[in-house]
Amino acid sequence: MGTRNYRRKTSHSESGPGDGGRTGSWRVERPVVDRSICIPARRGKEACFICWLFCPEIVVSRTIPPTIDLEYCKGCGICAEECPTKAITMMDEAKFAQEGKE
Amino acid sequence: MSAKSTILSLPREEYVHPGTRACSGCGLAIAYRVGLKALGEDTMLIVPPSCLTVLQGLFPVAATKLPCLNVTFASTAAAATGIIAALKTQGNDHTTVAAWAGDGGTSDIGLQALSGAAERGDNFIYFCYDNEGYMNTGVQRSGTTPAGAITANTPFRGKPQQKKDVPAIMAAHHLSYVATCSAAYPLDLYDKVKNCLDYPGAKYFHIHIPCPPGWGYEPRHGIKIGRLAVETGYFDLYEIINGKLTLTAASEKLLEKRKLVPVREYFRAQSRFKVLTDEQIEEIQKQINEKWEGYYSTAG
Amino acid sequence: MHIIENGNVAAAMGIRLCRATVIAAYPITPQTPLTEKLSEYIDSGQMKAEYIPVESEHSAMAVCIAAASAGARVSTATSANGLLYMHEQVQWASGARLPIVMCVVNRAVGAPWNIWNDQQDSVSQRDTGWMQLYCADHQQIIDTVIKAYWIAEKSSIPVMVCYDGYILSHTYMPFDLPEQEKVDLFLPPFRPDYVLSPAEPANLNTVTLPDTRVDIHGELAHGYMEIRYLLQEDLRNSLELIGQAEQRFSEIFGRGTDPYLEDYLCADAEYVALGMGSITYQLRVSVDALRAEGIKVGVMGLRVYRPFPDEAVAAALQGKKGVIVFEKALSYGYEGALASDLKAALYDRLAATGALPRVRGFIAGIGGRDIRTAELTSSLRSAIQETTHTGPLWIGLNL
């Protein structure tokens, strides 16, 4: 089980993603961004980013437009709820599974 | 308070990894993420048993990128004292020491140690994230659970006792800086953390944290409910600097607007308050109105 | 340099000589003069350290745990109910593998309240994964504190240095004050394998699962059970470390004995009295009296209680007809704690030889009840001469 140095004798954790596993599997709905309505997408520059600000899971990127890391997105829906232009819609996850999109 | 931050002015760097074990829509995750952005890389964290323990990860994977000491339930503030002492003996006066504890770990089991550290004037920031119950262990009632709330210990008639006013307790220690914040107002939280670093001794933050399973609402409504708590005048955002209280952000706006959203809207949005009667809600509304009359008259 | 001081001051001097930098303590009789002395040293600038006036013993150990995790050499001291209050933290410190040195000024535990000496407080902590070293005089107190830091930092295991409240803590004895240069030679600056800091972040002591789990490098990491096993393994291996400490100490300071046992007339003894702490010196008077009667008896002071030096104890008692244990603590519901541990060691090591010494146990001095030497002598004599005996006998009881 490796060397018995001090870090192996203690509960010593190093940082990395996915402590909870692939938390994207928790979702029943996934956020879908409509680029024609999303403010930074329409303007072609950094703006708004309310979805980035409020995402509890840090899976919304601060890019133009914002993208969602589906590996970890838990589908809480806060981004959709808070988007000022309703550019984000929560869609049934099952729909994507059926279409073979994962 | 100095210049107010905007979303675009917030630092990009993240100090937490995605894929944690926090609940979907966890209010703490939002507040913690922004709080760490304000604290920055040169920080040491202390965390007692709480939701944050789980969010930060189980051995051997850490979701947090900053150094963190997990400690026993009652000893958060004392551990902060210990870190500060060690840093001092090493000639380090630049590293920020920040404790993050839940409401139970602060207002109940951790209050004694917190009071001791405050009295000693130890230079650290203590963040109490208040989701109003022992949520990590299954929604048991705590000292800061509001009156009337259904919890695992008060399943039918709701909690009979009042919510403990911990910021007032900490202000009574004559701390230079005490603040209340909310996960629904992350920019206000960010600015207050930046602001408090100028002040000596222990700094106390009390952050209101909406909790989907504990409070009984759909995760997507978390920010809305957090906002309602403030817009109804129920939970106020303020700073107490050297004894002087100043409302901030949305609470400050209420001073100008002179119009509170009826608190019934806040209660009816959460199933934990379903046993609150209309009469009880009216009584609470009266108390809130009186409190705000006081704010209005002080503001002049 | 020879000085005359009390036991608490001897301990404080040891801590000062070891250059501890963070002291956190809460006042409790009979420990208070120890921490007061440290406060004097720090307040006057004689000692460069932070003194943290904590609001409870639980917090005292919390401060020590945190400061040690961040790389500081720490110390605390307590007694009785103070030790009991910090029990949760005591367990935490050993599980976290921190080299904390704590002086326990032995005192009776409540209920009911009692401020006088017995050893129930430290003995009740024998299962916590700390080392326990017992002192019988002031020279041993100051010397043991110095050795304790070296042992703790080599093993990453915390150490309790125990001495009797009032009997040693408040009495005055002459002893040699070690020179600072020699202590610095014996005990180098604290350089832990890992220091919690932003330079090398980690999350320490979080929830650790029953099963092993893969870490971020894709390697299988130890689980809780392995971490606990390694504590036990390192504790047992510390017996050797304790021997090395004694060896090094005697090379530098010119004094030292057997690391585990303090022997008085045991070599040719047929019967051996066994105890921990100051009672063993009182027993020497009884031994002298019985020797004058022609009884071949000696007394052995046990210096290391945890890790239990079973091999050394069994070897020293092999061939003896009987061992008579005198102790100031018990595992309620069974018998004297030391008597139990002794019997287990003798059984494991000597049962195969077919010659197990008889073991008799006495409980004395509970709650500071005066121990009359005459009663010790008669108890020792009767234990040697009688053949029937049921359970531990309490000396000086007045029902």
Pick from B230, B182, B246, B194: which is nearest to B3 by CA? B194
Q: What angle do CA B90, B95, B96 make, to 5 degrees?
A: 135
Residue identified by tokens 């981004």 is A79
Q: Which of B58, B66, B78 sits opposite C206 (nearest CB)?
A: B58
* Chain B residues close to C64, C-beta within 8 Å: 82
Taking an 8 Å cut-off on Cβ atoms, the answer to whether C230 and A8 are in contact is yes
Note whether B220 contacts A17, CB cutoff 8 Å.
Answer: no
B5: closest CA of chain C, how far (Å): 26
C115 touches C152 (CB < 8 A): no
Distance from CA of A14 to the nearest CA of C (A): 5
Tell me the three state secondary structure of residue B93. Answer: coil
Buried b / exposed e along A9-30 (16+ C-beta atoms within 10 A):
bbbbbbbbbbbbeebbebbebb
Shortest CA distance to B245 belongs to which of B165, B183, B190, B185?
B165
Q: Taking CB atoms and an 8 Å limit, are C213 and B66 in contact across chains?
A: no
Q: What do you get for the CA distance between the two ends of chain B, in Å?
A: 20
DSSP type of residue A68: B
Q: C212-247 burial, b for 16+ CB within 10 Å, e for fewer?
A: eeebbeeeebbbbebbbebbeebbeebbebbbebbe
CB contact under 8 A, B78 and C208: no
The whole-number pLDDT of residue A7 equals 87
**Touching B: which chains, 3+ CB pairs < 8 A?**
A, C
Reading chain C (399 residues) residue by residue, the pLDDT tens digits are: 999 999 999 999 999 999 999 999 999 999 999 999 999 999 999 999 999 999 999 999 999 999 999 999 999 999 999 999 999 999 999 999 999 999 999 999 999 999 999 999 999 999 999 999 999 999 999 999 999 999 999 999 999 999 999 999 999 999 999 999 999 999 999 999 999 999 999 999 999 999 999 999 999 999 999 999 999 999 999 999 999 999 999 999 999 989 999 999 999 999 999 999 999 999 999 999 999 999 999 999 999 999 999 999 999 999 999 999 999 999 999 999 999 999 999 999 999 998 899 999 999 999 999 999 999 999 999 999 986 666 679 999 998
Q: Note if the bond before C112 is cis, omega within 30 degrees.
A: yes
Contact A2 C220 (CB under 8 A): yes
Tokens for B258, please give them: 């002179």
Answer whether B89 sits within 8 Å of C52, measured CB to CB: no
Compute the distance between CA of residue C324 and CA of residue C357 in angstroms, rounded to an integer: 10
Nearest chain B residue to A61 by CA distance is B12
| CA dist., res. B15 & res. B39, Å (int) | 10
In the 8-state DSSP scheme, what is residue B273? G
Which tokens hold the place of C143?
């010397």
A45 in contact with B, Cβ within 8 Å: no
Angle formed by the axes of helices B111-120 and C57-69, nearest 10°: 70
H or E element in which residue B246 lies: strand B244-247
Find which of C22, C26, C63 to mutate to test the B interface (most B CBs within 10 Å of its CB): C63
Residue type, C181: E
Give the β-pairing of C261-264 and C297-302. Answer: antiparallel
- Taking only the tens of pLDDT, chain A with its 102 residues reads 456 788 889 999 999 999 999 999 999 999 999 999 999 999 999 999 999 999 999 999 999 999 999 999 999 999 999 999 999 999 999 998 776 554
Residue A53 contacts residue B10 (beta carbons within 8 Å): yes
Name the nearest CA neighbour of C24 among C96, C93, C110, C124.
Answer: C93
Q: Are B264 and B281 in contact (CB under 8 A)?
A: yes
Contact C202 A12 (CB under 8 A): yes
CA distance B136 to B53: 9
Strand B125-130 versus strand B96-102 pairing type:
parallel
Q: DSSP for C51-91, please give it.
A: EEE-SSHHHHHHHHHHHHHTT--EEEEE-HHHHHHTHHHHH
Q: Which domains does chain A have, with CATH numbers?
A: 28-98 (3.30.70)
Determine the 3-state secondary structure of C326 from DSSP. strand
The CATH-assigned architecture of domain B27-299 is: 3-Layer(aba) Sandwich (3.40)
User: DSSP E strands: which ranges in chain C?
Assistant: 2-6, 22-25, 50-53, 74-78, 101-106, 131-134, 159-164, 172-176, 203-204, 213-214, 220-221, 261-264, 271-275, 297-302, 304-306, 322-327, 358-363, 393-394
Give contacts of B56 with chain C, Cβ < 8 Å. 203, 206
The answer to whether A86 faces chain B, any CB pair under 8 Å, is no
Q: What gap in Å lies between CA C119 and CA C162, rounded to an integer?
A: 9
Determine, for residues A58 and B16 on separate chains, whether the beta-carbon distance falls below 8 Å.
Answer: yes
Give the Cα separation of B12 and A97 in Å (integer): 33
Report chain C residues whose CB lies below 8 A from the CB of A11. 204-206, 208, 224, 227
The 3-state DSSP composition of chain C as helix, strand, coil percent (nearest 5) reads: 40, 20, 40
Token pair 């107490």 is found at B240
Q: Which of A1, A9, A11 is closest, CB to CB, to C220?
A: A1
C-alpha–C-alpha distance, residues B245 and B236, integer Å: 11
Of C66, B181, C156, the residue nearest A8 (C-alpha):
C156
A16 touches chain C (CB under 8 A): yes
Alpha helices in chain A (DSSP H): 6-9, 39-43, 50-54, 78-82, 93-98
Rounded Cα distance between C216 and C213, Å, is 10
Residues 11-70 (B) with a CB less than 8 A from some CB of A: 12, 14, 16-22, 24-27, 29-30, 33-34, 57-65
Q: Look at A78 and B59 and tell me if their CB atoms are within 8 Å.
A: no
Delimit the domains of chain B by residue range. Answer: 27-299
Instruction: Select the residue of B7, B57, B63 nearest A50 (Cβ to Cβ).
Output: B7
Interface check for A13 against chain C (CB to CB < 8 A): the answer is yes
* C213 Cβ contact partners less than 8 Å away, ≥ 6 residues apart: B58, B59, B60, B61, C220, C221, C223
Q: What is the pLDDT of residues C69-113, one digit of tens each?
A: 999 999 999 999 999 999 999 999 999 999 999 999 999 999 999
Residue of B nearest to C73 (CA): B86
According to DSSP H, which parts of C138-196 are helical? Answer: 138-155, 180-186
Please state, in angstroms and as integers, the Cα–Cα distance from residue C281 to each residue in B47, B148, C51, following that order: 48, 65, 35
Quote the CA–CA distance of C152 and C205 in Å, as a whole number. 19
Are B141 and B89 a contacting pair, CB within 8 Å?
A: no
Q: How far is A17 from chain C (nearest CA, A)?
A: 9
How many residues are listed for chain C in this entry? 399
- Identify which of C258, C348, C356 has the alpha carbon closest to the alpha carbon of residue C302: C258
Q: Compare CB distances from A11 to B7, B21, B59 and report the shortest one's residue.
A: B59
Over its length of 300 residues, how does chain B's per-residue pLDDT go in tens digits?
A: 556 999 999 999 999 999 999 999 999 999 999 999 999 999 999 999 999 999 999 999 999 999 999 999 999 999 999 999 999 999 999 999 999 999 999 999 999 999 999 999 999 999 999 999 999 999 999 999 999 999 999 999 999 999 999 999 999 999 999 999 999 999 999 999 999 999 999 999 999 999 999 999 999 999 999 999 999 999 999 999 999 999 999 999 999 999 999 999 999 999 999 999 999 999 999 999 999 999 999 886
Out of A20, A50, A82, closest to residue B21 by CB: A20
What is each CA distance from C80 to B21, C77, C84, C162, in whole angstroms? 41, 11, 6, 11
Which residues in chain C have their CB less than 8 angstroms from residue A1's CB? 212, 220-222, 226
User: Among candidates C213, C231, C91, which has minimal Cα distance to B71?
Assistant: C91
A19 and chain C in contact, CB less than 8 A: no
Checking phi first, is residue C260 left (phi over 0); if not, alpha (psi -120 to 50) or beta?
alpha
Is the peptide bond prior to A65 cis by the omega test (within 30 degrees of 0)? yes
CB B99, CB B77: distance < 8 Å: yes
At residue A59, the 3 state secondary structure works out as coil
Contact check, Cβ <8 Å, C226/A1: yes
Residues of B in contact with C218 (CB under 8 A): none
CA distance A87 to C376: 89
The span from the CA of C2 to the CA of C5, in Å, is 10
Nearest CA in chain C to A6: C193
Q: How far apart are CA C322 and CA C269, in angstroms?
A: 10
Rounded to the nearest angstrom, the minimum Cα separation between C127 and chain B is 19
Secondary structure (3-state) at C139: helix
The structure tokens 């006013």 sit at B165
Q: Quote the tokens at residue C119.
A: 């050893």
pLDDT of residue A1: 47
Closest CA to C232 of C95, C98, C132: C95
Q: Model's pTM, two decimal places?
A: 0.97
Closest by CA to C101, choosing from C19, C169, C32, C159, is C159
* Cross-chain residue pair B66–C198, CB shorter than 8 Å: yes
**Cβ <8 Å between A10 and C227:** yes
Query: Distance between CA atoms of B6 and A59, rounded to whole angstroms?
Result: 20
Cβ distance C226 to A15 less than 8 Å, yes or no, reads no
Contact C312, C350 (CB under 8 A): no
The Cα of C19 is separated from the nearest Cα of chain B by a number of Å equal to: 11
- Which domains, ranges and CATH numbers included, belong to chain C? 2-186 (3.40.50.970), 261-394 (3.40.50.920)
**From A27, which residue of chain B is nearest by alpha-carbon distance?**
B24
Asked if the Cβ–Cβ distance from A81 to B224 is below 8 Å, we say: yes
The nearest alpha carbon in chain B to C87 belongs to B72
Residues of C within 8 A of B80 (CB-CB) are 66
Check B64 against A53: CB less than 8 A apart. no
Please give, rounded to a whole number of angstroms, the shortest distance from the CA of C184 to a CA of chain B: 18
The span from the CA of B271 to the CA of B255, in Å, is 29
